[in-house]
Chains A and B, each alone.
Chain A
Amino acid sequence: MNGSSRPDEVLLRAARAGDGDAFGEFYKRRRALVLGYLRPRVPDAEIAADLMAETFAAALLAIRNDRRPIPDDPIAWLITIARHKLIDSVRRGRVEQAARDRLALDPLEIDDEDIVRIEDLVATTDVAANLKELLPADQHAALKARVLDERDYSEIAIDLRCSEAVVRKRVSRALRTLRAGLEAPE
């Protein structure tokens, strides 16, 4: 595990109060997850990295808005932001950067070494593979459908032939497992 063992929610709450190290820790812990989600959906690592940067910038903006609650499930929340950024970027034909503009983040150059490092990171933290290894089959199916495919609980329940409550429980258990086990390897 990187850094402290503070849960994501605690890090985000600290970031809201201006604790830069806390958000840095959250980023280091979850960037592999975001890259792992984005990379298979885009043609190259550079676009995935660009989208990941925009995802974390948007997450930071959301956290700094104290009218919004701290997300109960930061992993699902982060993946949702990444997915929105992906869709927005496709629609516009360019990588979205509104959040980075609002934060006045300078553009970052990406070189071949960075590309290799990102690809390595993605290869070792492939989200679906990780989930499958980390989770029991029923939890994996529920989490994949809910978090990665963003399907409704009712729809998943029909597919998995169980009640919505059971799906919710499986997703919840899966996320709890992930919080403990899916820390970004470096």
Chain B
Amino acid sequence: MLYAILCYHHEDVVQAWSKEKHDTTMTNLRQVTDKLRRHGRLGPVARLLPTTAATTLRKDQEPPLVVDGPFAETKEQLLGFYVIDCASLDQAIETARELARANMGGSFEIRPVAELNPGSLQP
């Protein structure tokens, strides 16, 4: 089953990381994703630009309203996500733990994927 691991963190904390901290974290994460890729379990991965770059379309009205900024003002923000093939929830949690060891702080929301359209984009 495919699981989405949604990464939430205090955006301003991540932006306050030193370059060394940033580089080390990225290297650590790459080791985990490389392993997942070798095992054929790694799906799409996205790292999002800061929520300050976000625009929200509120479509509960006609015509929909375009608002600057993220959908919700939250303490932690959605910063990116992984889609990973896991045999069970236990394996998904184990994978999330590995990613967490590579990048501490914040939270991962583990969500089973109902349907994945791989699209046609090449990275």
Q: Do A and B come from one complex?
A: no
Residues of A within 8 A of B (CB): none
Residues of B within 8 A of A (CB): none
